């Protein structure tokens, strides 16, 4: 085993540890008090980003409840290397936003249309002019609604009334902000930055809410159940749902795939679903890039999500390359033995919480036996490349359904992306059965 593989689990455990997180939080809070600064956060808003639109509706109530100042920072241009399938995200995000808006009682037009670039720029220039105004939030909501409804008359009326920042000044400002955003350590708009930590979209405000409560701010009676989308309710058990299809697209290198496993199994078992798990190769092994800043954010974010769900996490041994390939080679054998669930769980737990090197024989043997599989039989599958065609079929099916990354879920009617969408998945399943009865 290389020095890198030996040190990697210990380094990962350090940077994802709750102890280090709490120490940094105490240090930053001590500095804030020493400088007599208020509690303040920065919100990175992009009007053609549906998640920004939803966050902008939530943050005024959030900031008032917790007594913090939220400063908007308008964005538009992004570093495209951070978005490996930008066109697909552009189509998926508004569909996702419609469902999230319904869940949280927010507004996003069901009849949305993708905004033209020049129209987004005009609305952004207007917001740049009023970024420091108290009316920013109401103006942002009005402009976003008109933009996403393709309501040119309303948009033109708003631009005429409120004006726009000069084009050359706006261009320079937006490009500089994109570069600074990356230097500061993030890449996703719709994100709030508070005291050294990033909170992307409504579904991460639960973490910040708990953090602020611990500082004595606000109360536990939040304006919205910010993390509601992350869990299925698992209450109703309609007989008609039994046998309904649910497909999970899974990657051994995805921490979010690992975080989704237990809740996927629980959802499928509760409703008696026909669960099919379709492993795919990770993005970097499919020719897509994942820059360093993105990898670090994902690791830290996955760690706090793991703590929220009580999932062991942190002592990580990255399986990219041979580790992933060997885990994929065992997959058809595990499925043949009727232990695919156990194999995915054992491999994911080993990779993401036990620091097991799946690229080594000893590491893979440990994972295989933890799944209740026979190592001597399993190892014969390592020379069988038939899994490659199966993985490519899975990737093609996932892309055709409208997603490029994992974990993705396909119900009878909908493609849902992300480990923090189980309430949406459940709603889709129940809605499909209700439609079948009507």
Q: What pLDDT was estimated at residue 334?
A: 97
Q: Does the residue 7 lie in any domain?
A: no
Q: What pLDDT was estimated at residue 236?
A: 79
Instruction: Give the domain CATH number at 151.
Output: 3.40.30.10
Q: Mark whether 216 and 254 lie in a shared domain.
A: no
Q: What pLDDT was estimated at residue 198?
A: 95
Q: What pLDDT was estimated at residue 286?
A: 55
Instruction: List the helix and strand counts (H, then E) for the chain.
Output: 17, 8
Q: What pLDDT was estimated at residue 9?
A: 85
- Select from 314, 101, 302, 292 the least CA-distant residue to 207: 302
- Domain closes at, from 228, 245, 276: 228
Q: What pLDDT was estimated at residue 5?
A: 64
Q: What pLDDT was estimated at residue 278?
A: 96
What does the alpha-carbon distance between residue 231 and residue 422 come to, in Å, rounded to a whole number? 5
Classify 277 as helix, strand or coil: strand
Q: Mark whether 94 and 120 lie in a shared domain.
A: yes
- Domain closes at, from 196, 228, 260: 228
Q: Mark whether 198 and 243 lie in a shared domain.
A: no
Q: Mark whether 217 and 364 lie in a shared domain.
A: no
pTM: 0.93
- Which positions ≥6 away from 195 have C-beta within 8 Å? 25, 28, 29, 32, 41
Q: What pLDDT was estimated at residue 434?
A: 60
Q: Mark whether 433 and 378 lie in a shared domain.
A: yes
Q: Mark whether 87 and 164 lie in a shared domain.
A: yes
Going from the C-alpha of 265 to that of each of 127, 133, 310, the distances in angstroms are 45, 48, 15
Q: Mark whether 245 and 190 lie in a shared domain.
A: no
- Select from 229, 257, 245 the least CA-distant residue to 405: 257
Q: What is the DSSP string of 234-276?
A: -----GGGTT-EEEEEE-TT-HHHHHHHHHHHHHHHHHT-EEE
Q: Mark whether 160 and 252 lie in a shared domain.
A: no
Q: In terms of residue numbers, what domain contains 144?
A: 38-228
Q: Mark whether 395 and 335 lie in a shared domain.
A: yes
Q: What is the DSSP string of 365-431?
A: HHHHHHTT--HHHHGGGGG--HHHHHHHHHHHHHHHHT--SSSEEE-SS-EEESTT-HHHHHHHHHH
**SS3 sequence, 150-204?**
CCHHHHHHHHHHHCCCCHHHHHHHHHHHHHHHHHCCCCCCCEEEECCEEEECHHH
Q: Does the residue 89 lie in any domain?
A: yes
What does the alpha-carbon distance between residue 189 and residue 74 come to, in Å, rounded to a whole number? 9
Q: Mark whether 162 and 198 lie in a shared domain.
A: yes
Domain count of the chain? Answer: 2
- Select from 249, 273, 223 the least CA-distant residue to 433: 273
Going from the C-alpha of 71 to that of each of 47, 49, 156, 244, the distances in angstroms are 16, 18, 26, 46
Q: Which residue positions in the chain have pLDDT lower than 70?
A: 1-5, 81-82, 284-292, 433-438
Q: Does the residue 23 lie in any domain?
A: no
Classify 73 as helix, strand or coil: strand
Q: Mark whether 215 and 240 lie in a shared domain.
A: no
Residue 72 main-chain phi, psi, to 5 deg: -75, 145
Q: Does the residue 162 lie in any domain?
A: yes
Q: What pLDDT was estimated at residue 240?
A: 84
Q: What pLDDT was estimated at residue 4?
A: 62
Classify 89 as helix, strand or coil: helix
What does the alpha-carbon distance between residue 413 and residue 433 come to, in Å, rounded to a whole number? 10
Q: Does the residue 80 lie in any domain?
A: yes
Q: Mark whether 283 and 156 lie in a shared domain.
A: no
In tens, the pLDDT along 345-358 reads 999 999 999 999 99
- Domain closes at, from 179, 211, 228: 228
Q: Does the residue 9 lie in any domain?
A: no
């Amino acid at each position: 085993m290389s020095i890198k593989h030996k040190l990697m689990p210990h380094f990962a455990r350090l940077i994802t540890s709750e102890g280090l997180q709490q120490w940094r939080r105490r240090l930053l809070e001590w500095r804030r008090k020493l400088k007599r600064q208020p509690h303040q956060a920065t919100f990175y808003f992009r009007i053609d980003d549906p998640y920004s639109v939803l966050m902008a509706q939530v943050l005024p109530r959030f900031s008032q409840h917790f007594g913090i100042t939220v400063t908007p920072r308008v964005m538009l241009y992004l570093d495209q290397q951070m978005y490996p399938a930008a066109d697909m995200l552009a189509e998926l995000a508004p569909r996702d936003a419609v469902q999230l808006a319904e869940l949280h009682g927010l507004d996003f037009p069901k009849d949305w249309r993708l905004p033209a670039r020049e129209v987004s720029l005009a609305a952004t220039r207007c917001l740049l002019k009023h970024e420091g105004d108290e009316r920013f939030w109401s103006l942002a909501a009005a402009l976003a609604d008109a933009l996403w409804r393709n309501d040119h008359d309303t948009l033109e009326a708003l631009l005429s009334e409120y004006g726009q920042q000069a084009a050359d000044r706006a261009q320079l400002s937006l490009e500089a902000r994109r570069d600074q955003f990356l230097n500061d350590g993030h890449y996703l708009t719709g994100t709030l930055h508070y005291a050294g930590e990033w909170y992307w979209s409504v579904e991460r405000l639960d973490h910040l809410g708990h953090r602020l409560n611990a500082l004595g701010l606000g109360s536990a009676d939040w304006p919205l159940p910010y993390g509601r989308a992350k869990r299925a309710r698992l209450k109703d058990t309609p007989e008609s749902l039994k046998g309904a299809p649910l497909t999970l697209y899974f990657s051994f290198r995805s921490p979010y795939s690992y975080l989704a496993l237990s809740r996927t199994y629980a959802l499928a078992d509760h409703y008696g679903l026909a669960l099919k798990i379709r492993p795919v190769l990770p993005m970097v092994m499919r020719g897509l890039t994942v820059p360093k800043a993105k990898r670090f954010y994902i690791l830290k974010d996955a760690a706090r999500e793991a703590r929220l769900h009580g999932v062991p996490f942190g002592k990580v041994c990255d399986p990219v390359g041979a580790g992933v390939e060997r885990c994929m080679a065992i997959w058809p054998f595990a499925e043949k033995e009727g232990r695919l669930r156990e194999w995915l769980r054992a491999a994911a737990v080993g990779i993401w919480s036990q620091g097991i090197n799946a690229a080594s024989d000893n590491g893979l043997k440990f994972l295989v036996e933890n799944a209740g599989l026979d190592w001597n039989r399993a190892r014969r599958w390592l020379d069988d490349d038939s899994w490659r065609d199966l993985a490519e079929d899975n990737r093609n099916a996932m892309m055709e359904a409208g997603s490029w990354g994992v974990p993705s879920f396909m119900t009878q009617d909908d493609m849902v992306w992300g480990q923090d969408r189980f309430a949406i998945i459940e709603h889709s399943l129940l809605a499909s059965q209700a439609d079948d009865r009507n």
